[in-house]
């Protein structure tokens, strides 16, 4: 379940059977020189352990809306909340709730879908057809049945096996589905990467949901069980923002820009017509999935937390803040675009540079030459820089770790604080101070930056070459000093409990310090890694593929 734009599983299988015997030979080195992107898929076979589990499906169905308590379903709740926000003093202020807990993040999405009266715009990189995906798909169907106009924009990199369902949704008179950088080869999808690699390597990594142009959810989560804590697999520690106010209009306008952009195609122009009854089967399946043990745990947790409807009707916002939406030009999906049209430029122009501190949370962290120059300049100015990323044992894309690993020594030498999340960390607690539940197995997925502990960025952007140059990205910046200070303080308190701190020993070798109950444990190799994994990382670090990471 990788949140990266790497070739799909069909290509991985093809590479495994065809090229593995020669991986260390000169023939494969020549192939890698010609097709460096194939290395990314191959490395996942050795170093990534993520998989999707099929959820059990019952036969019977119920008809009531799924997974929200009745008070969250009262019509007009969203419109009433928007009216209250509009009456607040100060122009341009938004009510902001931070969504760190996976259950709350799913409930908030269901809440907006079930409260929408006019329109729903959804834009996602990954949408799995699992419990969470099926619940949201069926909620969209129900919204369309009651007259809401639904537009769904998906990156086509992760839609394998979903063509019939997407075609059925698209056939609904009030649902339209479009695909970003669509693969022309619907059955043998790996052929698209062979014949059109330059385009297929560029993906839409954006994540947003907007209801009636009044409220938006923007952040790092895709749609899938692992992002919401529904499955038994590794939980991604992630963060979203639910914003009610003027920024929702900005997100709507940005969605419109993508919806009508050159890399986007209507699903109907690509997909075969769906068989009759697919949406009826979806409704039955969604109701059955809502009674699985995973869904029952979710519903029980929501009951303990209080209704999701309290986000709009009673629970005070975590902050009142002006928000700035930043996003890439969708033309980036076809090739390089002017620097002025990039998210990185908008961030640099719209925000004051940090003067005291910079906290970066990035699951995939490959600073590159420009990033290293930036960090060096910040350190010369006396800015304290802290980076939290995944340890090798926690990452879901270990090839990216090889790109990061070669910069660690130099970063530590210049005084950058490096922390790596443990694989058994209490996942959401490391990125939030908002009462999130943890998981016994965690991988960092949040993309959050804090400047001087008074300005905050939440979005889809990783600090790596792929986000900077290949994928389209989006996020929001918040001018909310109290909120940012709370997050900073919480992060500092949680890091020693849930992450390894990297240090340089007196002999110049790297160490991983782990604070345990009785004493500090010092690792001299990547914690909880095998000799084979470490050898593979060293091999990958020699190869010229950083631009793909």
Local mean pLDDT, 10-residue blocks, the chain (549 residues):
48 34 32 34 33 33 43 76 85 87 90 95 96 94 97 96 96 98 92 92 98 97 92 80 96 98 97 93 90 81 63 80 96 96 92 94 95 97 97 88 94 97 67 47 86 96 96 96 92 91 95 92 93 86 81
Number of other residues whose CB lies within 10 A of the CB of residue 367: 22
Closest residue by Cα to residue 280 from 172, 427, 156: 172
Q: Same structural domain for residues 393 and 425?
A: yes
* Angle between helix 102-115 and helix 77-86 axes, rounded to 10 deg: 100
DSSP lists the bridge partners of residue 194 as none
Same domain, 483 and 514: yes
* 57, part of any domain: no
Place of tokens 């020993």: 505
| The one catalytic residue among 452, 454, 464, 498 | 452
Residue whose C-alpha is closest to residue 200's, from 246, 155, 139, 153: 155
Q: List all residues 6 or more positions away from 30 whose beta carbon is below 8 Å from its beta carbon.
A: none
pLDDT for res 426? 54
Q: Is residue 299 part of a domain?
A: yes
Residue 32 is part of which domain span?
A: 9-47
CATH value at residue 218: 3.30.870.10
Active-site annotation holds for 156: no
Domain ends where: 259, 290, 319? 319
pLDDT in the model for residue 338: 96
CA–CA separation, 245 vs 218, rounded Å?
13
pLDDT value of position 425: 55
Active-site residue, 452 included: yes
135 & 280 share domain = yes
Tokens representing 25? 């030979």
Is residue 285 a contact partner of residue 57, using CB atoms and an 8 Å limit?
yes
**Does 218 share its domain with 307?**
yes
| Inside any domain, residue 63 | no
Give me the sign of the Cα torsion angle 387, 392, 396, 398: positive
Residues near 537 by Cβ (< 8 Å), separated by ≥ 6? 47, 392, 398, 401, 402, 405, 526
Residue 497's CB is within 10 A of a number of other CB atoms, namely: 12
Query: Are 274 and 342 part of one and the same domain?
Result: no
**Based on the domain organization, do 414 and 529 belong to the same domain?**
yes
| Of 121, 129, 130, 207, catalytic | 207
Does residue 173 lie in a domain region? yes
Q: Tally the domains of the chain.
A: 3
| pLDDT in the model for residue 304 | 63
* Shared domain check, 222 and 113: yes
23, 88: one domain: no
Per-residue pLDDT at 544? 81
The verdict on 307 and 338 lying in the same domain is no
The residue out of 291, 319, 347 marking a domain boundary is 319
pLDDT of 28 reads: 31
Angle between helices 531-542 and 398-405 (to 10 degrees): 70
Residue that finishes a domain, picked among 285, 319, 353: 319
State whether residue 522 is helix, strand or coil: strand
Choosing from 225, 445, 464, 498, the catalytic residue is 445
Query: Cα Rg for the chain, rounded, in angstroms?
Result: 23
Q: Do 348 and 298 share a structural domain?
A: no
Q: Which residues pair with 120 in a beta bridge?
A: 150, 211
36 and 167 fall within a common domain: no
Is residue 58 situated within a structural domain? Answer: no
* 65 located within any domain: no
Same domain, 402 and 425: yes
CB 364 within 8 A of CB 337: no
- Phi and psi at 442, nearest 5°, equal -135, 150
Q: Which of 101, 170, 212, 240 is catalytic?
A: 212
Residues 6+ apart with CB under 8 A from 21: none
Whether 445 is a known active-site residue: answer yes
User: Does residue 64 lie within any of the structural domains?
Assistant: no
Please indicate, yes or no, if residue 32 is contained in any of the structural domains: yes
């Amino acid at each position: 379940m990788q949140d990266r734009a790497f070739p799909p599983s069909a290509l991985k299988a093809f590479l495994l059977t065809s090229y593995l015997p020669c991986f260390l030979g000169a023939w494969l080195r020549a192939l890698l020189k010609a097709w460096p992107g194939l290395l990314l898929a191959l490395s996942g076979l050795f170093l990534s352990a993520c998989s999707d589990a099929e959820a059990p499906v019952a036969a019977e169905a119920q008809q009531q809306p799924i997974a929200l308590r009745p008070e969250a379903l009262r019509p007009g709740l969203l419109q009433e909340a928007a009216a209250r926000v509009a009456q607040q003093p100060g122009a341009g202020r938004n009510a902001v709730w931070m969504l760190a807990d996976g259950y709350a993040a799913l409930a908030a999405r269901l809440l907006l879908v079930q409260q929408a009266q006019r329109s729903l715009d959804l834009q996602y990189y990954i949408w799995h057809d699992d419990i969470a995906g099926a619940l949201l798909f069926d909620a969209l169907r129900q919204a369309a049945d009651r007259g809401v106009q639904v537009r769904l924009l998906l990156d086509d990199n992760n839609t394998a096996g979903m063509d019939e369902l997407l075609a059925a949704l698209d056939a609904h008179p009030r649902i339209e589905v479009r695909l970003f950088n669509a693969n022309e080869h619907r059955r043998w999808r790996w052929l698209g990467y062979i014949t059109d690699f330059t385009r297929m390597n560029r993906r839409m990594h954006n994540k947003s949901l907007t209801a009636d142009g009044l409220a938006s959810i923007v952040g790092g989560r895709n749609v899938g069980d692992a992002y919401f804590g529904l499955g038994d697999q590794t939980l991604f520690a992630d963060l979203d923002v639910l914003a009610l106010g003027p920024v929702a209009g900005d997100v709507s306008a940005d969605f419109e820009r993508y919806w009508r952009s050159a890399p986007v195609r209507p699903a109907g122009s690509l997909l075969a017509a769906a068989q009759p009854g697919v949406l009826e089967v979806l409704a039955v399946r969604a109701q059955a999935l809502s009674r699985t043990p995973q869904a029952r745990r979710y519903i029980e947790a929501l009951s303990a937390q209080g209704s999701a409807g309290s986000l709009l009707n009673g629970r005070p916002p975590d902050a009142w803040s002006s928000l700035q939406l930043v996003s890439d030009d969708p033309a980036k999906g076809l090739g390089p675009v002017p620097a002025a049209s990039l998210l990185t430029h908008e961030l640099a122009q719209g925000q004051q540079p940090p003067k005291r501190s910079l906290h970066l949370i990035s699951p995939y962290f490959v600073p590159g030459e420009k990033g290293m120059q930036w960090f060096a300049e910040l350190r010369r100015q006396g800015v304290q820089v802290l980076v939290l990323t995944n340890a090798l044992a926690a990452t879901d894309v270990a090839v990216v770790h090889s790109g990061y690993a070669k910069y660690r020594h130099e970063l530590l030498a210049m005084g950058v604080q490096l922390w790596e999340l443990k694989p058994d960390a209490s996942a959401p607690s490391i990125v939030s101070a908002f009462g999130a539940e943890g998981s016994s197995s965690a991988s960092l997925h949040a993309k959050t930056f804090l400047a001087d502990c008074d300005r905050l960025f939440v979005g889809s952007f990783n600090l790596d070459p792929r986000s900077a140059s290949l994928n389209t990205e989006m996020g929001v910046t918040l001018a909310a000093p109290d909120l940012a200070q709370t997050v900073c303080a919480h992060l500092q308190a949680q890091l020693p409990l849930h992450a390894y701190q990297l240090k340089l020993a007196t002999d110049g070798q790297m160490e991983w310090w782990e604070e345990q109950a009785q004493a500090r444990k010092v690792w001299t190799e990547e914690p909880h890694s095998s000799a084979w994994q470490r050898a593979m990382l060293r091999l990958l670090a020699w190869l010229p593929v950083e631009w793909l990471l």
